[in-house]
Amino acid sequence: MVVVIDFSEHLPIAKSIEDVRKICEKNEQTLVKEMDLLQQNIASSEEEFKKLNLSLQYVE
């Protein structure tokens, strides 16, 4: 499943160094959350593949 979100209308405009820092922190938090979700998705897929492989072994 691929989710595409258009953030173009929500892009913050940095007016100071502090704004840049806040934007970077927010981007980092978002990236970490996305990486966690991807890792969970990968783990779930790997578990599903293992189950399917076991099922195939019984069929053979």
What is the residue range of 58's domain?
31-60
- pLDDT score at 10: 64
pTM (predicted TM-score): 0.61
48 in any annotated domain: yes
The answer as to whether 39 is a domain residue is: yes
Please check whether residue 43 lies inside any domain of the structure: yes
Domain count, the chain: 1
Whether 26 maps to a domain, the answer reads no
Can you give the chain as a three-state secondary structure string?
Answer: CCCCCCCHHHCCCCCCHHHHHHHHHHHHHHHHHHHHHHHHHHHHHHHHHHHHHHHHHHHC
Give pLDDT, residue 58: 80
In a domain, 21, yes or no: no
Tens place of pLDDT per residue across the chain (60 aa): 666 666 655 666 778 999 999 999 999 999 999 999 999 999 999 999 999 999 998 876
Structure confidence at residue 13 (pLDDT)? 75
pLDDT value of residue 15: 84
State residue 59's pLDDT score: 78
